[in-house]
C-alpha cells in the first residue's frame, strides 16, 4: 500500500531578520491510509511546522513531501489550494467557524471552492449528511454562538470531511474543550478512523494522544520516537469512567 503522506528528509528553515531558525531538521516518515497518528512535542519542537507542511500551507526548504503521491514542492499557490480543497480536511484548536453563518453554511464552505463547481442543492445535501455523521443534523441552522464548544468542534469536523478528503488534520483539537467534551470529540475521531479515514493529530497532551494508534514525538526539529500506542484508550469506555467518577463525587 502506498503511503498517503510521505516525508523524505524534510527540512524547514525560517529567516527571522538576520537569524535563521531551523524549525525542522530532517524528518523522514510514512503515514499509510487508515492510520491514526498523534504528533507530540513541546513548543519549538517543530510539530506545528510539520503540520503546516503536511497541510500544504507551507513548503519544505529541503527534502520532499509527497501527498498521495504528488510532490508538492513543484506546485504553485493555486495548485496547493486545490490540493487542500480535495485531499485534506482541517480541524483547529479554535474551531475557526464563520461567526455570522449557520452550521450547514459553515460545513458547505469547502465545497464553495471546489473545481468543477458543485450545485447548491448538492452542497446542501452533502453538508447535511456530514452534520448528521457527527450527530448535529438538528442544529444545522444554528449559529456558532448558539452552539457549545464541543458542538462547534463537531461542526468543524463535519466541514473537514465534506469534500471526502484523504487525510483529516487536527491541530490541538481538544485544546479549548473541557475533559468530557474532549473525550466525546476523540470518540468522533475514533469512529471516523474505524470507517477508514486517516487522521493526523497534533497534541501536547498524553491522554489525548492515547486515543490514537501511533505516536510520533518530536524534539528540536527531529523525530525522537515513533511507536504504536501501547495502552490505547477507547472513548466510550472513558466516558463511562468519567460519569462514574462524577456520580461518585455527587453522592458524597
Partner 1 sequence: MRRNVMRSLLTMLGIIVGISAVIVGDSMGTGARAAVEKQIASMGQNLIILFSGGGSRGGTRSGFGSSPNLTMGDYLALRQEVEGVEAVSPEVRGNARLVAGNQNTSVGYYGVSAEYAGIRSWNFQTGDNFTEADVRNAAKVCVIGKTTSDLLFGEGTDPVGQVIRVNNAPFSIVGLLSPKGANSFGQDQDDVILVPYTSAMKRLSGDTMFRSFNIQAQSADVMADVQTNITQLLMQRHRIAEGADPDFAMRTQQEFGDFANRTNEIMTVIINAFAGISLVVGGIGIMNIMLVSVTERTREIGIRLAVGARGRDVLRQFLTEAVLLSAFGGALGIATGYWLAPLLTKVAGFPTLISESSVIMAFSVSALIGVVFGFFPALKAANLDPIDALRYE
The helix (run of H) or strand (run of E) holding residue 89 is strand 88-91
CB of 156 to partner 1, least distance (A): 10
Stretch that binds partner 1, among 4-12, 96-104, 176-184, 233-241 (CB under 8 A): 96-104
Answer yes or no: are the C-beta atoms of 36 and 214 closer than 8 Å.
yes
**Residue 61 touches partner 1, criterion: CB under 8 A:** no
Q: Residues 44, 63, 92, 233: which binds partner 1 (CB under 8 A)?
A: 92
CB of 241 to partner 1, least distance (A): 35
**Residue 58 touches partner 1, criterion: CB under 8 A:** yes
CA 90, distance to chain mean position in Å, is 5
**Residue 78 touches partner 1, criterion: CB under 8 A:** yes
Beta-bridge partners for 168: 89, 199
Stretch that binds partner 1, among 33-41, 94-102, 118-126, 200-208 (CB under 8 A): 94-102
CB of 84 to partner 1, least distance (A): 5
**Residue 57 touches partner 1, criterion: CB under 8 A:** yes
Candidates 47, 45, 26, 46; CA nearest to 37 is 47
Q: Residues 32, 66, 75, 114: which binds partner 1 (CB under 8 A)?
A: 114
Beta-bridge partners for 71: 66
CB of 78 to partner 1, least distance (A): 5
Beta-bridge partners for 159: none
Cα dist from 246 to 188, 211, 243, 251, 252, whole Å: 22, 21, 5, 9, 10
The b/e string for 37-54 (b: 16+ C-beta within 10 A; e otherwise) is: bbbbbeeebbbbbbbbbb
Q: Residues 41, 46, 60, 110: which binds partner 1 (CB under 8 A)?
A: 110
Cell of 220: 528540536
Candidates 5, 160, 166, 185; CA nearest to 89 is 160
The helix (run of H) or strand (run of E) holding residue 122 is helix 120-133
CA distance 195 to 13: 37
**Residue 173 touches partner 1, criterion: CB under 8 A:** no
Q: How many residues bind partner 1 (CB under 8 A)?
A: 23
Q: Residues 30, 70, 73, 98: which binds partner 1 (CB under 8 A)?
A: 98
CA distance 147 to 175: 17
**Residue 15 touches partner 1, criterion: CB under 8 A:** no
CB closer to partner 1, 5 vs 183? 5
Residues engaged in binding partner 1 (CB under 8 A)? 52, 55, 57-58, 77-78, 81-82, 84-86, 90, 92, 96, 98, 100, 109-110, 112-114, 159, 163
Amino acid at each position: 500500500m502506498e503511503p498517503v503522506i510521505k516525508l523524505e528528509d524534510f527540512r524547514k528553515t525560517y529567516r527571522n531578520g538576520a537569524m535563521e531558525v531551523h524549525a525542522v531538521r530532517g524528518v523522514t516518515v510514512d503515514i499509510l491510509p487508515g492510520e491514526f497518528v498523534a504528533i507530540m512535542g513541546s513548543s519549538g519542537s517543530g510539530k506545528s511546522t510539520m503540520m503546516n507542511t503536511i497541510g500544504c500551507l507551507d513548503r519544505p526548504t529541503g527534502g520532499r513531501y509527497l501527498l498521495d503521491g504528488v510532490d508538492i514542492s513543484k506546485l504553485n499557490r493555486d495548485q496547493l489550494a486545490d490540493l487542500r480543497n480535495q485531499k485534506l480536511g482541517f480541524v483547529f484548536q479554535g474551531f475557526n467557524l464563520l461567526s455570522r453563518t449557520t452550521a450547514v453554511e459553515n460545513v458547505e464552505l469547502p465545497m464553495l471552492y471546489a473545481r468543477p463547481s458543485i450545485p447548491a442543492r448538492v452542497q446542501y445535501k452533502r453538508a447535511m449528511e456530514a452534520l448528521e455523521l457527527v450527530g448535529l443534523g438538528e442544529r444545522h441552522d444554528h449559529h456558532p454562538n448558539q452552539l457549545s464548544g464541543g458542538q462547534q468542534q463537531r461542526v468543524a469536523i463535519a466541514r473537514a470531511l465534506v469534500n471526502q478528503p484523504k487525510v483529516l488534520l487536527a491541530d490541538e483539537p481538544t485544546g479549548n474543550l473541557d475533559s468530557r467534551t474532549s473525550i466525546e470529540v476523540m470518540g468522533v475521531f475514533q469512529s471516523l478512523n474505524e470507517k477508514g479515514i486517516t487522521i493526523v493529530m497534533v497534541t501536547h497532551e498524553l491522554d489525548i494522544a492515547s486515543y490514537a494508534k501511533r505516536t510520533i514525538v518530536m524534539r528540536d526539529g527531529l523525530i525522537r520516537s515513533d511507536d504504536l500506542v501501547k495502552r490505547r484508550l477507547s472513548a466510550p469506555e472513558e466516558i463511562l469512567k468519567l460519569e462514574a467518577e462524577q456520580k461518585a463525587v455527587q453522592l458524597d
